[in-house]
Amino acid sequence: MVIDDVLAADDCVGVITREVRVRLVNISSSGCLIESSTRLEPGTAGDLRIRVGSDIYADDVRVARVQQVQGAGSTWHVGTEFLWTTQPGTRSLRRVVARLRQVLAQQAVDIEFSSRPM
C-alpha cells in the first residue's frame, strides 16, 4: 500500500507533528515555565520532554500564557500547565517536582541536625 491508497481511504487522517526546542526555566507541581525561540499560542497542548542528566522526563502540557523576554530578541517565556490526563509515571515531570521537594526537605532536616549542639 502506498500513500495514494492511504490518502484515498474514507477514514484518512493527517497529523503533523512539530517539535519546538525549549529550555525549562522553572517547574512546580502545577506546571513549568519554558523558554523558546518560537512563539506558541496560548491553549496549545503538547507533549513536553525534558532531559535531566541522562534521563528524559515527559508530560502533557497546555500553554497557559506567552510573554516575550524583553531585550532578548526572539525569545519567549511560555507558561505551561500539566494536563492530568494520565497517572504520573516514573518518568513524569510531575514526579520530578515531588522528588525535588523531598530532597529539599531532607536537606532541611540535615541542616537542623548538623546545627544542633552535641
Partner 1 sequence: MAIAIGQPGRRQSEGRVGVIRHDAVGRIRGKRSIEVAMSGRRRHERFAPAQPWDGALRVLRDVIVQEDPGGGLVTIGQAPGVIGEQMTLDVSGAGHVVTLKVRVQESRPVILDGNVRHRVRLEVLERSRRLEATGETLVVAG
Q: Considering the rule CB under 8 A, would residue 61 count as an interface residue with partner 1?
A: yes
Which grid coordinates belong to 96? 520530578
Q: Are 20 and 36 in contact (CB under 8 A)?
A: yes
Q: Are 114 and 107 in contact (CB under 8 A)?
A: no
Q: Considering the rule CB under 8 A, would residue 4 count as an interface residue with partner 1?
A: yes
Q: Are 60 and 47 in contact (CB under 8 A)?
A: yes
Q: Considering the rule CB under 8 A, would residue 62 count as an interface residue with partner 1?
A: no
Q: How far apart are CA 84 and CA 32, in angstroms?
A: 14
Q: Considering the rule CB under 8 A, would residue 46 count as an interface residue with partner 1?
A: yes
Q: Considering the rule CB under 8 A, would residue 94 count as an interface residue with partner 1?
A: no
Which residues are near partner 1 by CB under 8 A?
1, 3-30, 33-36, 40, 44-56, 61, 67, 69-70, 72, 77, 79-80, 96-97, 99-101, 103-104, 107
